[in-house]
Amino acid sequence: MLHEPRFWSAVAFFLFFILFGAKLWRPLSAALDARAQKIRADLDEAARLRREAEQMLEDATREREAALAEAREMVEHSLQEAARIAAQARQDADDIARRREQMARDRIAAAERGAIREVREAAIDIAMQATRETLAGSLTADGDKTLIDNAISGLPSALSRRAA
């Protein structure tokens, strides 16, 4: 047993750890503790970043929903505005149609008045011509004829004044 290399390797291993183990254990333990502390700090930082990310996600979700609500409101408002504009356009078109209809009626009424006036003037002219012919045929005296011609020639202006 004393002649075997495994035995002496085991003895050397145990002596090495007995003599130098305490000196090596402290730095090794300190390094492991520092590593554990760094891992804890990284985990705390990761947890903090996760909380911040969750908060940012909640904020973004709220902002998105607010933007969607605002967009819905804008769409609804634009639809109402479009309906109002369409109603106003219909009203304007109806007003224009009524005005044009009234203008056409006014033109027709003016044309009727003009036609009535022309018919009256033609009737007056015919009546005057018939009166001239009738009076010319029934009157023979020159003195009476001149008087009647003057009265007849003044008749259209007197009738026009009376009609107006």
- Over residues 67-107, the pLDDT tens digits come to 999 999 999 999 999 999 999 999 999 999 999 999 999 99
Residue 101 within a domain: yes
Cα-trace Rg, the chain: 61
**Residue 144 pLDDT > 70:** no
60-69 tens-digit pLDDT: 999 999 999 9
Task: Write down the pLDDT at residue 118.
Answer: 92
**Residue 143 pLDDT > 70:** no
3-state helix, strand, coil in the chain (%, to 5): 95, 0, 5
Tokens of 42: 């990284």
Residue 99 within a domain: yes
**Residue 134 pLDDT > 60:** yes
Residue 15 within a domain: no
Residue 29 within a domain: no
Taking residues 129-136, what's their average pLDDT?
A: 79
Q: Give dist(CA 45, CA 123) in Å, integer.
A: 113
User: pTM for the whole thing?
Assistant: 0.42
Q: Which domain holds residue 85?
A: 42-163
Residue 5 within a domain: no
Residue 153 within a domain: yes
Residue 149 within a domain: yes
**Residue 113 pLDDT > 90:** yes
For the chain, the domain total comes to 1
Residue 121 within a domain: yes
